[in-house]
Amino acid sequence: MLRFWRREKKDAPTKPHTKLNLTLREVKEAINKYEETLTELGIKRTVLIEADNQINFELLAMFLGGVPDKKFYMSRETYEIFEEKDKHIPVYLDMVQGAVDDYISEKRKLPIIDNSSDQRVNFDLLIHNHNLKEKPTIPLFISNQSDMVTHDENWRQDS
């Protein structure tokens, strides 16, 4: 009898988001708007990052007016954003940033290749010191910006 009086709630049908052809710059701008709007509520940009480093655009749709027609990826550690062709880079950035942070905490110096003018990360040193388990296939560098790891070999020109 109670069942008769209870109405079953039906989920409102969700309208699919418009697919947009977005550039990397447009995605970065949307993420910055998202963060500016929601930081005061204690919501950080890391909630946008899925386990595989893919960006969850369902959360950004209201800032973009839709969702991208292609995938983008973000590093949890450095917040750098990449197109699908470079989706391996944020994985390496996250792995190496953690290793660099641990090494700096332990040794109080940067794990860079000796006499390296570009501050290239010394993967062998990190592996030998048990901070890193595997060697990335791309060179990474330590920028002057809070000792953040970057894939950009021209990082000095950006600062």
For residue range 110-134, list pLDDT tens digits in order.
Answer: 999 999 889 999 999 999 999 999 9
Q: What share of the chain is helix, strand, coil (3-state, %, to 5)?
A: 40, 15, 50
C-alpha distances in Å from residue 25, one per residue of 28, 32, 72, 101, 105: 5, 11, 11, 28, 34
- For residue 94, count other CB atoms closer than 10 A to its CB: 18
Count of C-beta atoms within a 10 Å radius of residue 37: 12
Residue range 76-111, pLDDT digits in tens: 999 999 999 999 999 999 999 999 999 999 999 999
Query: What pLDDT is stored for residue 113 in this prediction?
Result: 96
> What string of DSSP letters covers 89-154?
HHHHHHHHHHHHHHHHHHHSS--B-TT-TT-BB-HHHHHHTTS-SS--SS--EE-SSTT-EES-TT
Cα separation, 79 vs 67, in Å, equals: 19
Burial of 30 (0-12, 13-18, 19+ CB in 10 A): buried
SS3 70: coil
Per-residue pLDDT at 14: 61
